[in-house]
């Protein structure tokens, strides 16, 4: 065996020494020049990836725990066009699975970008089929899809979320913090092939799921109320309408509808103005339903003996204006009960004059007008009520019969709920509480309660409202087997330029409760510009229909009949 | 001792694999549960049921009737047992 020549060994040794010396010098230079940390960071950046772990969004449930909104896992499919080698072949493979046009997909895959969404909120099973194709440049992100199983069921109340899962309207928006939970993240070290490096960095902060909201809405009652409202709007060729069903004892809103509505599963197909929950966010001049506040003030303040007969012509001069009743009539002699039953504007103005402006303003406020109910719905309106100092010569008169003042349908429902509840105002509620991810129920704060009028005054007013339904303007609201108490409203609509009112156009309403002797449900039926015009003709039948639904759905039973109030008009 | 450490490590690795599998199973079952809840809510949606019932000729009753058992209570409800059609002239 021959030994290698010493010269070649020496040359190899020198070359090796030089190579290692070069490396050593380079390393020393990098260390000394301070680039080491930067390079280390760059190397780590190439290996370490942080992936967001989305939190499961809580459900929105009805009062019985049925889902009104639910999120299910989904997958976003994206592409990095730089790595897509054959856009047309890839697009042809993807388009049938994703339900997209191949041309559009190919266009996305050929884009000058590093990231494009191909499809969002894809069903996991579909995503698995796409994943199995192992297409270069195509990636996947965990996501979720919000579904509204009932379709257009209380859509303005429930609201909807955007493509990124954030609430955009309704309770979805109002309770975003509670529903959304907290997203987590996972930081992991990957090899060049995208596989986790064993023993490398792997840090996970788990997401915290959102809580579910339990609403006071009764899903079945809501559906039937919506059906009745839609049919009434169609029959009356109205522009729209609102409907509220409330339990006066607890303030819980059992149904709340605004027509026209939309399907939150495809909210983009409907105009944005249909998203508004007008029962809470929009105000209207309540018209004659507001007379109950005037009457309540008169009874409570004993401003007029209940058996005193007022002389009521059909017109009356107030300041520079002449006000009149809804129809021409000879001079009548009416007691307060008759004024309510006949819905006399002139009569109620006379009553209001005896109450006086300060007391009237006080009762309007005590019944909750002029400020939001704080029902917990985003964008709730507080109504429009002039401060007493700004009242004109006609303010007392017009407010007495519900013009020159504006309230939301919910506020007016609350007024009647106060009377039904023996004079106690109970704050309306839309949310009963929240179910945390562990399934523990956390009740919402108890509703605020305040006394507005005495029990005796509320009962007398209830008798008057029952009289109005049995013999007055509200006869179309009668319900077989029950004594119903309620009031019609036919309100003029303020012109858009805020000067005067629209000619011959009205908001027709009927708000009432049953059974009068033991009220269990308050119903507000409001129609925007129905052909029948008046609340007694257009809205009372809608009330009647929904009241029947409530009787069967909620198991309302009749109560002892209340006697008629003092009255001057003949009955029977 | 070395053998013991290797065995212990293998056992730990096995347990880790089982935990990982269980986690995946929990995740899959949670997703399945949510999908089933959604399906249940969709199938029991009142609109769907009403539509099905309507197709099969069912309809809601036009009226309600309150029956009173003799001798029970002393209630005198308005219009008990009469038609729900309101009498008298409608109001304004």
Answer yes or no: are the C-beta atoms of A155 and B45 closer than 8 Å: no
Runs of H (alpha helix) within A99-242? 102-109, 124-132, 155-158, 170-174, 176-180, 219-235
The answer to whether residue A288 is catalytic is yes
Per-residue confidence (pLDDT) for residue A3, from 0 to 100: 66
Per-residue confidence (pLDDT) for residue A286, from 0 to 100: 95
**Plot region of A199 (φ>0 → left; ψ -120 to 50 → alpha; else → beta):** left
Check A95, A288, A395, A509 and give the catalytic one.
A288
Q: How far is B87 from chain A (nearest CA, A)?
A: 7
CB contact under 8 A, B47 and A478: no
Per-residue confidence (pLDDT) for residue A4, from 0 to 100: 67
Backbone φ and ψ of A424, nearest 5°: -100, 125
Q: pLDDT below 50 — which residues of chain B?
A: 74, 76-92
Q: pLDDT below 50 — which residues of chain A?
A: none
Backbone φ and ψ of A512, nearest 5°: -165, -175
Number of A/B CB contacts below 8 angstroms equals 142
Distances (CA, A) of A484 to A108, A459, A463: 64, 13, 10
Per-residue confidence (pLDDT) for residue B72, from 0 to 100: 58
Q: How far is A350 from chain B (nearest CA, A)?
A: 20
CB contact under 8 A, A548 and B41: no
Q: Which of A149, A470, A515 shows the shortest C-beta gap to B38?
A: A149
Q: Residue B60: list chain A partners with CB under 8 A.
A: 224, 549
Q: Which residues pair with A407 in a beta bridge?
A: A284
ipTM score of the complex?
0.71
Per-residue confidence (pLDDT) for residue B87, from 0 to 100: 33
Q: How far apart are CA A530 and CA B5, in angstroms?
A: 85
The residue of chain A with its CA nearest to that of B28 is: A73
């Amino acid at each position: 065996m021959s030994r290698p020549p010493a010269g070649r060994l020496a040359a190899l040794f020198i070359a090796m020494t030089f190579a290692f010396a070069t490396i050593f010098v380079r390393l020393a230079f990098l260390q000394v020049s301070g680039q080491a940390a930067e390079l280390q960071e760059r190397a780590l950046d190439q290996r370490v990836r942080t992936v967001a772990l989305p939190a499961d969004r809580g459900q929105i449930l009805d009062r019985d725990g049925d889902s009104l909104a639910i999120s299910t896992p989904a997958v976003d499919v994206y592409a990095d066009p730089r790595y897509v080698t054959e856009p047309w072949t890839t697009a042809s493979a993807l388009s049938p699975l994703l339900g997209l046009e191949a041309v559009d997909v190919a266009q996305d895959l050929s884009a000058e970008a590093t990231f494009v969404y191909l499809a969002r909120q894809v069903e996991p099973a579909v995503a698995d089929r796409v994943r199995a194709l192992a297409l270069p440049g195509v990636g996947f992100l965990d996501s979720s899809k919000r579904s509204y199983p009932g379709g257009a069921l209380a859509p303005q109340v429930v609201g909807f979320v955007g493509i990124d899962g954030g609430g955009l309207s309704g309770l979805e928006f109002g309770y975003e913090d509670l529903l959304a939970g907290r997203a987590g993240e996972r930081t992991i070290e990957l090899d060049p092939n995208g596989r986790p490096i064993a023993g490398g960095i792997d840090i996970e902060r788990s997401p915290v799921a959102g809580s579910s909201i339990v609403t006071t809405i009764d899903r079945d009652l809501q559906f039937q109320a919506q059906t009745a409202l839609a049919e009434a709007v169609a029959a009356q060729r109205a522009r729209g309408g609102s409907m509220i069903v409330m339990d006066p004892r607890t303030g819980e809103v059992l149904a709340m509808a605004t027509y026209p509505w939309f399907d939150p599963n495809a909210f983009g197909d409907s105009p944005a103005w249909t998203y508004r929950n007008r029962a809470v966010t929009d105000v209207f001049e309540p018209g004659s339903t507001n007379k109950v506040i005037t009457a309540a003030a008169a009874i409570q303040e004993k401003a007029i003996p209940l058996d005193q007969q007022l002389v009521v012509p059909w017109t009356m001069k107030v300041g520079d204006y002449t006000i009149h009743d809804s129809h021409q009539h000879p001079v009548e002699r009416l007691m307060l009960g008759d004024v309510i039953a006949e819905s006399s504007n002139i009569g109620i103005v006379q009553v209001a004059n005896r109450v006086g402006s300060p007391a009237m303003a006080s009762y309007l406020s005590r019944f909750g007008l002029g400020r939001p109910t704080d029902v917990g719905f985003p964008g709730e309106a507080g109504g429009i009520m002039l401060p007493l100092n700004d009242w004109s010569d006609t303010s007392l008169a017009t407010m007495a019969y519900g013009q020159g003042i504006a309230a939301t349908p919910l506020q007016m429902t609350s007024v009647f709920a106060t009377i039904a509840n023996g004079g106690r105002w109970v704050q309306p509620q839309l949310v009963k509480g929240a179910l945390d991810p562990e399934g523990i129920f956390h009740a919402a704060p108890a509703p605020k309660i305040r006394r507005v009028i005495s029990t005796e005054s509320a009962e007398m007013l209830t008798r008057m409202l029952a009289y109005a339904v049995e013999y007055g303007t509200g006869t179309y609201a009668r319900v077989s087997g029950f004594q119903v108490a309620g009031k019609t409203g036919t309100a003029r609509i303020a012109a858009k330029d805020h000067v005067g009112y629209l000619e011959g156009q009205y908001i027709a309403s009927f708000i009432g409760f049953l059974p009068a002797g033991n009220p269990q449900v308050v119903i507000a039926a409001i129609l925007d510009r129905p052909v029948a015009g008046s609340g007694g003709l257009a809205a009372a039948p809608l009330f009647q229909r929904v009241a029947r639904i409530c009787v069967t759905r909620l198991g309302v039973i009749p109560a002892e009949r209340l006697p008629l109030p003092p009255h001057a008009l003949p009955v029977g | 001792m070395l053998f013991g450490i290797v065995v212990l490590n293998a056992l730990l690795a096995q347990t880790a694999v089982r935990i990982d599998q269980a986690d995946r199973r929990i995740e899959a079952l949670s997703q399945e549960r949510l999908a089933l809840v959604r399906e249940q809510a969709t199938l029991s949606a009142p609109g769907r049921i009403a539509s099905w019932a309507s197709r099969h000729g069912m309809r809601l009753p036009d009226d309600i009737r309150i029956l009173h058992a003799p001798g029970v209570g002393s209630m005198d409800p308005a219009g008990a047992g009469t038609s729900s059609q309101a009498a008298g002239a409608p109001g304004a």
